[in-house]
């Protein structure tokens, strides 16, 4: 999963948890608040009722410590109209009177008895069951409890309130969640952008492109970017010094090599008829020539890599250039017993350095011959596509293993199957640099029948 997606998921989970807690807290406090309000209201009502009942009692049951059944019924008849469902019990918790059809309550005697007993001791008590509140309060007269008043209050309105609040909360939570998604996407994009850039630059470093990062701010990522830049600079410096070293060594090798070659040629002439010595000098000559070629290639490569090699770009007839080069390569093809077939479209023009392009083609032919068996065929074709000249060199040789097809452009890299032929492994690196300098491309593929196909593309000019 991408960092950005992870971030959004974390953010949303946190939002969900927060919303859940806030929702539960809001619902709870609204519920408590409304129950408190109802409680206050019921206390007020019961106080009022108590006042009325005690006055009636004073008038009707003079001197008695008990509320008479008649008074209780009378009170219920009057107060029931105002307060809804009420009941009056005597001190022994016996129902004396009840308003309307409420003689049988939905509440069992046991449950009810609890609050009635509490009221008998002189306290308010209530109980909420099946969305109905049962509120019991003592009726006192001159300091004595003369009965118990119970007010039965439907709580359905609290439920309606709660469901209303829940609706509003749900809509709010939904809007909040959508907003959070948008915000988290925005923040994730902002946070991951510099990280993505770092990854991109690290990738560039892997491909030896050392463009430093632009750095703003001083947070951890900026610090990392700074370290990155320092690392890139050091790598670049190291590579530069390594190239310089190779270049210097090659230069130093050139002079003694020329001397060795000179002396060995002199020796060859002077030996006369001694076959053992002749053979030794032949090898001396051969090896010094090989070494000289290697040194030349290393020098060329280091000049190109350090940008010291000069390119002279001109408009060129690429068709003619290829044809002439094929002409020059004929002798070598014969030496390797290779049949060379060409199919060249005329009048293909490119902008390029003639000498360098010849070097490219010579190198490619050289490989095609070297890595092919005798009496095989090498085909060359040049054609035009809309914006490109396409040169293909197809051989029937040993081919290049798939995993090596990019690596063979590296300096000194040689595929496993080519190790028996002693060579330097620098040709294709030089070729690649030259092709790059011409804004072209080069690719190696394999045909089903085996062998290698080199596809070289250069931009056309008209
Ligand atoms: N036409 C080809 N057929 C098979 N292998 C090739 C061919 N061209 C290049 N290669 C592989 O690519 C490697 C690098 O080529 P190059 O840089 O020209 O080095 P060299 O020719 O000195 O070995 C070769 O060693 C060989 O393994
Ligand atoms: Mg080569």
In the reported structure, the alpha carbon of residue 258 is separated from the centroid of ligand 2 by a whole-number distance in angstroms of: 23
| DSSP type of residue 425 | S
Residue 52: how many CA atoms within 13 Å on its side-chain side? 18
Phi, psi (deg, nearest 5) at residue 350: -135, 165
Q: Tell me how far the alpha carbon of residue 435 lies from the centroid of ligand 1, in angstroms.
A: 16
* Longest alpha-carbon distance in the chain: 164
Protein residue closest via CA to atom 12 of ligand 1: 408
In terms of CATH architecture, what is 314-459? 2-Layer Sandwich (3.30)
Ligand 1 mutation pick, 300, 406, 428, max ligand atoms within 8 A of CB: 428
> Rounded to the nearest whole angstrom, what is the distance from the C-alpha of residue 405 to the centroid of ligand 1?
10
How far is ligand 1, taken at its centre, from the CA of residue 363, in Å?
9
Nearest ligand to residue 451 Cα: 1
Nearest-angstrom CA–CA distance, 95 and 149: 10
Please tell me if the CB atom of residue 446 comes closer than 6 angstroms to any atom of ligand 1. Answer: no
Q: Does residue 415's CB lie within 6 angstroms of at least one atom of ligand 1?
A: yes
In whole angstroms, what is the distance from residue 148 CA to residue 152 CA?
Answer: 13
Q: How far apart are CA 402 and CA 395, in angstroms?
A: 16
pLDDT tens for residues 170-219?
999 899 889 988 998 998 888 888 888 888 888 888 887 888 888 888 88
CATH 3.30.300.20 at 220-305, yes or no: no
Q: Tell me how far the alpha carbon of residue 462 is from its chain's centroid.
A: 45
For 48, the enclosing helix (H) or strand (E) is helix 3-60
DSSP assignments along 330-390, one per residue: HHHHHHTT-EEEEEE-S--EEEE-HHHHHHHHHHHHHHHHHTS-TT-EEEEEEEE-SSEEE
Q: Taking the CB of residue 169, how many other CB atoms lie within 10 A of it?
A: 18
pTM, two decimal places: 0.56
The pLDDT, as a whole number, for residue 138 is: 92
Ligand 1, atom nearest to 430 Cα: 17
Q: How far is ligand 2, taken at its centre, from the CA of residue 263, in Å?
A: 28
- Residue 439 confidence (pLDDT): 96
Q: CA 334 to CA 441: how far, in whole Å?
A: 29
Instruction: Tell whether ligand 1 has an atom less than 6 A from the beta carbon of residue 362.
Output: no
Q: What are phi and psi of 311, to 5 degrees?
A: -110, 135
Q: Whose CA is nearest to atom 23 of ligand 1?
A: 425
Which residue lies with its CA nearest to atom 19 of ligand 1?
425
| DSSP string across 109-142 | HHHHHHHHHHHHTT--EEEEETTEEEEEEEEEET
What does the pLDDT read at residue 153? 86
Long-range contacts of 37-41 (CB under 8 A, 24+ apart): 38/133, 38/153, 38/155, 38/158, 39/126, 39/135
Which residue lies with its CA nearest to atom 7 of ligand 1?
Answer: 367
In ligand 1, the atom with minimum distance to the C-alpha of 428 is: 17
Nearest to 361 by CA among 315, 406, 327, 401: 327
Cα 428 to averaged position of ligand 2 atoms, centre (Å): 6
211: DSSP letter? P
Q: Does the Cβ of 291 fall within 6 Å of ligand 1?
A: no
Q: How far apart are CA 435 and CA 48, in angstroms?
A: 104
Q: Three-state DSSP class for 221?
A: helix
* CB proximity list for 41: less than 8 A, separation 6 or greater: none
Ligand 1 atom 1, closest CA: 368
Of 26, 30, 32, 35, nearest in space to 132 by CA: 35
pLDDT at 110: 67
pLDDT score, position 109: 61
Q: What DSSP string describes 277-304? A: HHHHHHHHHHHHHHHHHHHHHHHHHHHH
Name residues of the chain where pLDDT drops below 50.
Answer: none
Cα 362 to ligand 2 centroid, rounded to whole Å: 9
Instruction: Please indicate whether residue 428, judged by its CB atom, sits closer than 6 Å to ligand 1.
Output: yes
- E strand segments, 99-244: 125-129, 132-141, 144-154
Residue having the nearest C-alpha atom to atom 18 of ligand 1: 427
Which candidate, 458, 429, 452, places its Cα nearest to that of 379? 452
Contacts 24+ apart (CB under 8 A), 316-320: 316/349, 316/350, 316/351, 316/352, 316/354, 316/357, 317/347, 317/348, 317/349, 318/348, 318/349, 318/350, 318/352, 318/357, 318/382, 318/389, 318/391, 318/458, 319/344, 319/345, 319/346, 319/347, 319/348, 319/382
- Whether 151 lines ligand 1, by a CB cut-off of 6 Å, is no
With tokens 């909040």, the residue in question is 176
Q: How is the chain split into domains, by residue range?
A: 3-160, 220-305, 314-459
354 lines ligand 1 (CB under 6 A): no
Q: What is the pLDDT of residue 107?
A: 56
Contacts of residue 403, Cβ cutoff 8 Å, sequence gap at least 6? none
The ligand with the least distance to the CA atom of 425 is 1
Is 424 a pocket residue for ligand 1 (Cβ < 6 Å)? yes
User: How many A from CA of 296 to the centre of ligand 2?
Assistant: 14
Strands (E), 395-451: 441-446
> Is the CB of 397 inside a 6 Å radius of any atom of ligand 1?
yes
Element (H, E) at 253: helix 220-271
To test the pocket of ligand 1, the residue of 295, 371, 403, 416 to mutate (highest count of ligand atoms within 8 Å of its CB) is: 371
Q: Name the CA radius of gyration of the chain, rounded.
A: 51
Q: Which residues, by Cβ under 5 Å, contact ligand 2, an ion?
A: 367, 427
Taking the C-alpha atoms of residue 346 and residue 38, their distance in angstroms, rounded to an integer, is 102
Query: Any bridge partners for residue 442, and if so which?
Result: 456
Ligand 2 centroid to Cα of residue 152, in Å, is 104
The atom number, within ligand 1, closest to the CA of 395 reads 1
Nearest CA to ligand 1 atom 24: 414
| CATH homologous superfamily, domain 3-160 | PAS domain (3.30.450.20)
């Amino acid at each position: 999963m991408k960092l950005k997606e992870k971030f959004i998921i974390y953010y949303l989970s946190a939002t969900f948890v927060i919303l859940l807690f806030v929702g539960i807290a809001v619902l709870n406090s609204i519920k408590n608040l409304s129950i408190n309000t109802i409680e206050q209201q019921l206390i007020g009502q019961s106080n009022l009722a108590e006042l009325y009942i005690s006055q009636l009692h004073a008038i009707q049951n003079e001197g008695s410590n008990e509320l008479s059944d008649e008074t209780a019924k009378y009170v219920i008849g009057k107060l029931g109209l105002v307060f809804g469902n009420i009941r009056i019990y005597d001190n022994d918790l016996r129902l004396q009177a009840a308003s309307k059809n409420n003689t049988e309550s939905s509440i069992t005697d046991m449950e009810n008895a609890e609050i009635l007993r509490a009221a008998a001791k002189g306290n308010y008590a209530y109980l909420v069951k099946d969305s109905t509140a049962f509120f019991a309060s003592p009726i006192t007269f001159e300091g004595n409890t003369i009965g118990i008043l119970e007010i039965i209050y439907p709580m359905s309105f609290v439920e309606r309130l709660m469901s209303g609040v829940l609706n509003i909360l749900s809509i709010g939570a939904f809007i909040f969640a959508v907003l959070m998604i948008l915000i988290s996407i925005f923040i994730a994009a902002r946070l991951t952008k510099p990280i993505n850039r770092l990854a991109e630059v690290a990738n560039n470093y892997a491909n030896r492109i050392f463009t430093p990062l632009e750095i703003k701010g001083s947070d951890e990522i900026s610090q990392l970017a700074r370290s990155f830049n320092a690392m890139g600079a050091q790598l670049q410096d190291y590579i530069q010094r390594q190239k310089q070293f190779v270049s210097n060594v090659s230069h130093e090798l050139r002079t003694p090599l020329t001397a060795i070659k000179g002396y060995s040629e002199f020796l060859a002439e002077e030996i006369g008829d001694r076959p053992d010595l002749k053979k030794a000098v032949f090898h001396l000559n051969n090896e010094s020539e090989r070494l000289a070629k290697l040194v030349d290639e290393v020098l060329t490569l280091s000049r190109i890599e350090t940008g010291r090699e000069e390119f002279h770009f001109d408009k060129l007839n690429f068709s003619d250039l290829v044809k002439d080069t094929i002409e020059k390569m004929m002798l070598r093809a014969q030496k390797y017993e290779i049949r060379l077939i060409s199919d060249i479209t005329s009048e293909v023009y490119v902008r390029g350095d003639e000498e360098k392009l010849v070097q490219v083609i010579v190198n490619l032919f050289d490989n095609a011959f070297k890595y092919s068996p005798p009496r095989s065929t090498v085909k060359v074709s040049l054609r035009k596509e809309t914006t490109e000249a396409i040169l293909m060199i197809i051989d029937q040789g040993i081919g290049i293993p798939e995993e090596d097809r990019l690596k063979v452009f590296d300096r000194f890299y040689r595929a496993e199957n080519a190790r028996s032929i002693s060579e330097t492994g620098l040709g294709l690196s030089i070729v690649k640099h030259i092709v790059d300098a011409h804004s072209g491309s080069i690719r190696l593929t394999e045909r089903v029948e085996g062998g290698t196909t080199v596809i070289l593309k250069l931009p056309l000019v008209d």
